[in-house]
Amino acid sequence: MRVLVTGADGFIGSHLTEELIRQGYKVKAFTLYNSFNTWGWLDTLPKDVLAEIEIFQGDIRDPNGVREAMKGVDEVFHLAALIAIPFSYHSPDTYVDTNIKGTLNVLQAAREMETSRIIVTSTSEVYGTAQYVPIDEKHPFQGQSPYSATKIGADRLAESFYRSFNMPITIVRPFNTYGPRQSARAVIPTIITQLLAGKEEIQLGSLTPTRDFNYVKDTANGFIKVAKADNTIGEEINIATQQEISICQLAEELIRQINPNAKIICDEQRLRPEKSEVNRLLGSNEKIKRLTDWTPKYTFEQGISETIEFFRNNLDKYKIDIYNI
């Protein structure tokens, strides 16, 4: 099976690419072109794994490059996206171009080439603050940030291509993923990097929201399980643990493990606008368990332990003294 992973140079994409290689897939990795010829997190993979990956540098916003990348591919895992919520307040146009137009480029190319399977990556942010829990796939959508609005738009485009052209599309919707290689703009790396740097005051935004955290290796495995199952075509599927923890509880646990003397400080610039803050996310995983044999293999404790160890060994790669948006 020859597959294309867009966004392969990113956090989840690099883990998915690595796992696909380990499972025997032939992988073409679509990475963002840059003049330094860097391949993002793929550059850090073991040499034997990296040697098996075909690299294609391009830009998901360019339909010609996307079409070229998808030649000869059986399946595509479309992960390329802009995901930082604060930056979407600043530059919403780029989110429309990347998340909506980029997805359209993948769908158009897949239609033209009759690609046998398309996995489109969504996000739990499309649901907004939970109207009921656990959040299943029938929960209403609510665009509480430009980011989530563009992901809703991309999801609906994917649905339209499935319904209009009978294309083999599945929308995969991970809840909050964490783990090694994650950006410092995300809450768990933000807390861990500040603590490992020896800071006594940990700067955070709102402490009351709750999240359903997936360890990244479970998320990557979920993508593959969904792609292997024929009964998932035309479906929207959560990847969730069906457990929640507040940001305050999370921070207190990480402080306990790394530096019990640290205190939490609310940083005004890290607060989302009141109507934009997603206050509760707790996902239902009933559907993915019913349609596939996926189940989380990592406990939260195991995932956090591996994540702390990664950041301990890679702290020099992160800018700890600034607010990463």
Q: How many CB atoms lie within 10 A of CB 209?
A: 18
- Characterize the bridge pairing of strands 54-58 and 26-32: parallel
Q: How far is CA 84 from CA 88, 155, 229, in A?
A: 6, 18, 31
Phi, psi at residue 225, to the nearest 5°?
A: -60, -40
pLDDT surpassing 90 at residue 229: yes
pLDDT surpassing 90 at residue 302: yes
Single-letter residue type at 115: T
Q: Give the DSSP H or E segment for 225.
A: helix 216-228
Same-domain check for residues 225 and 267: no
Same-domain check for residues 142 and 198: no
CA atoms within 13 A on the CB side of 51: 3
Residue 223, domain member (yes or no): yes
pLDDT of residue 117: 98
pLDDT in tens, 169-213: 999 999 999 999 999 999 999 999 999 999 999 999 999 999 999
Same-domain check for residues 119 and 47: yes
Same-domain check for residues 267 and 236: no
Same-domain check for residues 104 and 197: no
Which whole number is the average pLDDT over 62-78? 98
Residue 103 CA to residue 231 CA, distance in Å, equals 23
Computed over every residue of the chain, the mean pLDDT equals 97
Residue 57, domain member (yes or no): yes
At 294, list the tokens: 């996926």
pLDDT surpassing 90 at residue 101: yes
Same-domain check for residues 259 and 233: no
Residue 294 CA to residue 226 CA, distance in Å, equals 8
Which whole number is the average pLDDT over 150-163? 98
pLDDT surpassing 90 at residue 47: yes
At 316, list the tokens: 């020099």
Same-domain check for residues 195 and 122: no
pLDDT surpassing 90 at residue 153: yes
Residue 111, domain member (yes or no): yes
pLDDT of residue 321: 87
Same-domain check for residues 163 and 44: yes
For the chain, how many structural domains are there in total?
2
pLDDT surpassing 90 at residue 166: yes
pLDDT surpassing 90 at residue 325: no
Residue 248, domain member (yes or no): yes
CATH of the domain at 313: 3.90.25.10
Which whole number is the average pLDDT over 14-18? 98
CATH of the domain at 93: 3.40.50.720
Identify the domain containing residue 272 by its residue range.
Answer: 187-209+244-279+303-317
Q: Give the DSSP H or E segment for 19.
A: helix 11-22
pLDDT surpassing 90 at residue 40: yes
pLDDT of residue 193: 97
Same-domain check for residues 195 and 155: no
The residue behind tokens 């923890």 is 245
Which whole number is the average pLDDT over 243-251? 97
Same-domain check for residues 157 and 263: no
Residue 19, domain member (yes or no): yes
Which whole number is the average pLDDT over 15-28? 98
Residue 262, domain member (yes or no): yes
Phi, psi at residue 5, to the nearest 5°?
A: -115, 110
Same-domain check for residues 87 and 35: yes
Same-domain check for residues 116 and 161: yes
The residue behind tokens 């205190």 is 263
3-state secondary structure of 104: helix
